[in-house]
Structures are given as structure tokens and as C-alpha cells.
């Protein structure tokens, strides 16, 4: 049965991770895998999570299934986190949320619902975008096109080219936007740019589709949700895929959510029934543990305060590392201007070097990053930043 299959190449990031693990160089640096790391290179369990796990463990009395939508309480708390407390669309019953197996599960559920509602729909994604967007959406049978986003020359959003393309996107199609902390480039939309997109979406009738994987990692929980909340105030329908992997540090627990804002509560009822059917046919019920921890944290003022503090510490550490890398590159005599690293948000940025220079960093200096030159800022530390800057300067001079 399986003899006709062809072996596929390894995922480039997973392959980098394996090579990093096998490298014996004591100076090696992993800038590839997209997870938060502390100064010691660990991805710690947050204190708020540890405390919530104890509380939940003590009150848990059953492992029975929780049903296709997951916990209603968790979904309501995540709606408030994303849309803000008492948003008009939420109060009107137009927003419905389900728990999903991570942000990936959310994206795939959304793709399946889109395909069922409009088989001819096209999803427009930014160039560049997170690599897994393409298989998650495309494998559901959706057509995918790209719009210009990042200008590698200026290291900024190429907004005029983006809008020139999106002005031709019409009703029935969707535009996938990164809510904040764009992966892979780190260049985010300004408030004025979000306003222009909201007006265009309303005028042309396309549906905004927001991937919110890093809420709280940019400027703050509310600030990072600016675009989503503006769109929710402007357009009749939108889709939000969210993840608790990064801001709660719940990577392996696969805790995510899919929130859909419908034009009416009647449409919401129909949409939710179709989502339940899709979930039942794919994985039947969502995992519980990660979302239960999120529910416990957001349902407790004390745990929420602890989480806010820890999230702020992660966010400020990333910002300080951005500034430090730019400073060190200048000190070491790097050719070119790397100040864009400080202007960008979240865990990722392109270094802006070519593939040969990337390969030299990997093979000659044991600094692991993907061919696009995307780096995970959280992989930098006070202990390795000098070596990293010296190595980048060395390959720039070759």
C-alpha cells in the first residue's frame, strides 16, 4: 500500500534543531526554533502556570470529554482578552469561540469552515508569511494568493504595494493578517495602516482573517489587539485564530482558540453548528489541560496579575535584546544599518543577509538560522551576543 510514497524533505527548522543538538561547539547558538528562551537558553514554565496547575489539579474530579467547543468559561475569557471586555459584537451574540489544538488547529478549523461556506474562496497571505500558513490552509483545499508586505530594502512594511494589491480583493475572499509581532519579519502595521485596511475591507467586502499568535509580546495585551478590535468595530464578519503557546508558554499543551465574528447571531448559530460538525469529524474533542490552565489564570485576579508581570518581563527582555544586538553590531564595525532590529516587534526579524552568509554562520560559526535569515531574538543572551555580533560582522566582510 505505501510503497508508492515518496520521501519528503525534513522541515527546515526541525532539521536545524537536530543539527544544533548534534553540534559540539560550546559557542553554538540556536536562532531557528521559534520558542521563547530565557537567559540560560531554557523555555521555562511560567509561575502563573505552575500555580494554576496545582489549583486545577486539586479541584479536577473527572477526565470526561469536554465537548467539541471546549470550556464555555475559557472561551468567554479568551474572547475578552482578544476583543476587550464587553465588546458590542460579543454582547450581541455575534462572536463564537471554540477551543482548538493550538493555533495550528485553529487555523485548520477556520480553513475547513471557509471551504464549506465558500469553496471558491481565496485566502490572501502576506509575502512573507509564517511558512505553516500555506499547508494549514492549502491542504484544506483553499486557493492561496499573496500580497506584498515586507520591503527587504527599507526593512519596513511596503504598505503602498500592499494596498495596491488588496484594493482588488473582493467579497468572498479573505485577507490573512498578523495581529502583531509579524512572523517572520517583525515589521508590524501602524494604527493608521490598520485603519486604512479596515476601511478597505468594509468598502470591498472581503473578510479579515487574523492570526494572533503573539498577543502581549509586542507592546502589551491591549495594544497588540488594536487591529483586531478596530476591525471588529468596522466590518460585519471576521475570523481570529489565537494561540496560548507563546504568551502563556503552553507550547506542548496545544492550547488555542478560534473566534469568528458573524454578521448576526442567527449566522453565528449556523456557523457554530457547522464548526461542531467539522471538529467531530477531525478530532472529535479538543484537549483540555492547556485551556483549563488558561481559564484558571484568567479567572483569578491574583494569577492574572502574576501572568501579566511575567509576560511583561518576557516582552521587555526581547526589546532589550533587540537594542543590544544593534548596539553590538555597531560596536563590532558591522557594515550597514541594523537599527531596524530595534524598530520591529516580537521574537523575529530578518538579518537581511544572503544565503551564502547564512550558511557560513551555520557551518563556520555554529549559529543556526534558516536560509531567509530570520532569527529568533529570544535565542540571544548576554552570554552569546558578542560572539553573535562578531560572527555576523565576519561573514559580512567575506
The contacts of residue 393 (CB under 8 Å, 6+ apart) are 329, 332, 333, 334, 335
* Catalytic option among 30, 173, 188, 211: 211
Q: Are strands 174-178 and 122-127 parallel, antiparallel or unpaired?
A: parallel
At 230 the three-state DSSP class reads: helix
Cα Rg of the chain, angstroms: 21
| Residue 167 CB burial class (10 angstroms; 0-12, 13-18, ≥19) | exposed
Give the angle subtended at the CA of 232 by the CAs of 194 and 130, to the nearest 5°.
Answer: 55
Within the chain, where are the H helices? Answer: 12-22, 47-59, 72-83, 88-91, 102-117, 133-138, 159-166, 191-204, 221-224, 226-234, 265-282, 289-298, 301-331, 340-343, 355-365, 385-397
The phi, psi pair for 276, rounded to 5°, reads -60, -40
* Catalytic option among 28, 30, 130, 328: 130
Nearest to 207 by CA among 236, 168, 178, 164: 236
Q: Is 328 a catalytic residue?
A: no
At 85 the three-state DSSP class reads: coil
Answer yes or no: are the C-beta atoms of 177 and 211 closer than 8 Å.
Answer: yes
Q: What cell numbers appear for 50 in the block?
A: 505552575
Q: What cell numbers appear for 341 in the block?
A: 532590529
Q: Is 130 a catalytic residue?
A: yes
Q: Transcribe 343-372 into DSSP letters.
A: HS-SSEEE----HHHHHHHHHHH-EE--TT
DSSP single-letter state for residue 154: T
* Catalytic option among 37, 155, 246, 328: 246
- How far apart CA 191 and CA 196 sit, in angstroms, is 9
DSSP single-letter state for residue 243: E
Catalytic residues: 130, 211, 246
Amino acid at each position: 500500500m505505501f510503497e508508492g510514497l515518496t520521501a519528503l524533505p525534513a522541515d527546515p527548522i526541525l532539521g536545524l534543531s537536530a543539527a544544533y543538538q548534534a553540534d559540539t561547539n560550546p559557542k553554538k547558538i540556536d536562532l531557528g526554533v521559534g520558542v521563547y528562551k530565557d537567559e540560560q537558553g531554557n523555555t521555562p514554565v511560567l509561575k502563573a502556570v505552575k500555580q494554576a496547575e496545582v489549583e486545577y489539579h486539586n479541584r479536577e474530579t473527572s477526565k470526561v470529554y469536554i465537548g467539541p467547543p471546549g470550556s464555555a468559561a475559557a472561551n468567554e475569557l479568551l474572547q475578552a482578552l482578544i476583543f476587550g471586555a464587553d465588546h458590542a459584537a460579543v454582547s450581541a451574540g455575534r462572536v463564537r469561540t471554540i477551543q482548538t489544538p493550538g493555533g495550528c488547529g485553529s487555523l485548520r478549523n477556520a480553513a475547513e469552515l471557509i471551504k464549506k461556506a465558500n469553496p471558491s474562496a481565496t485566502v490572501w497571505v502576506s509575502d512573507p508569511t509564517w511558512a505553516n500558513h500555506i499547508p494549514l490552509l492549502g491542504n484544506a483545499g483553499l486557493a492561496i494568493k499573496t500580497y506584498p508586505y515586507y520591503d527587504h530594502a527599507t526593512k519596513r512594511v511596503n504598505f503602498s504595494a500592499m494596498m495596491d494589491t488588496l484594493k482588488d480583493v473582493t467579497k468572498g475572499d479573505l485577507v490573512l493578517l498578523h495581529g502583531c509581532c509579524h512572523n517572520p519579519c517583525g515589521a508590524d502595521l501602524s494604527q493608521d495602516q490598520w485603519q486604512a485596511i479596515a476601511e478597505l475591507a468594509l468598502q470591498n467586502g472581503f473578510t479579515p482573517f487574523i492570526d494572533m499568535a503573539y498577543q502581549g509580546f509586542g507592546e502589551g495585551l491591549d495594544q497588540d489587539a488594536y487591529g483586531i478590535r478596530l476591525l471588529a468595530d468596522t466590518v460585519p464578519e471576521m475570523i481570529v485564530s489565537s494561540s496560548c503557546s507563546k504568551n502563556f508558554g503552553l507550547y506542548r499543551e496545544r492550547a488555542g482558540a478560534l473566534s469568528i465574528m458573524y454578521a448576526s447571531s442567527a449566522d453565528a448559530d449556523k456557523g457554530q453548528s457547522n464548526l461542531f460538525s467539522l471538529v467531530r469529524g477531525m478530532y472529535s474533542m479538543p484537549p483540555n489541560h492547556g485551556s483549563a490552565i488558561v481559564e484558571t489564570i484568567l479567572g483569578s485576579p491574583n494569577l492574572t496579575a502574576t501572568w501579566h508581570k511575567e509576560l511583561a518581563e518576557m516582552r521587555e527582555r526581547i526589546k532589550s535584546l533587540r537594542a543590544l544586538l544593534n548596539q553590538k553590531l555597531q560596536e563590532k564595525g558591522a557594515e550597514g544599518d541594523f537599527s531596524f532590529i530595534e524598530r520591529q516587534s516580537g521574537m523575529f526579524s530578518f538579518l537581511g543577509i544572503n544565503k551564502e552568509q547564512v550558511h557560513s554562520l551555520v557551518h563556520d560559526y555554529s549559529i543556526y538560522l534558516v536560509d531567509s535569515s530570520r532569527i529568533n531574538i529570544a535565542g540571544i543572551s548576554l552570554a552569546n551576543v558578542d560572539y553573535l555580533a562578531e560572527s555576523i560582522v565576519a561573514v559580512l566582510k567575506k
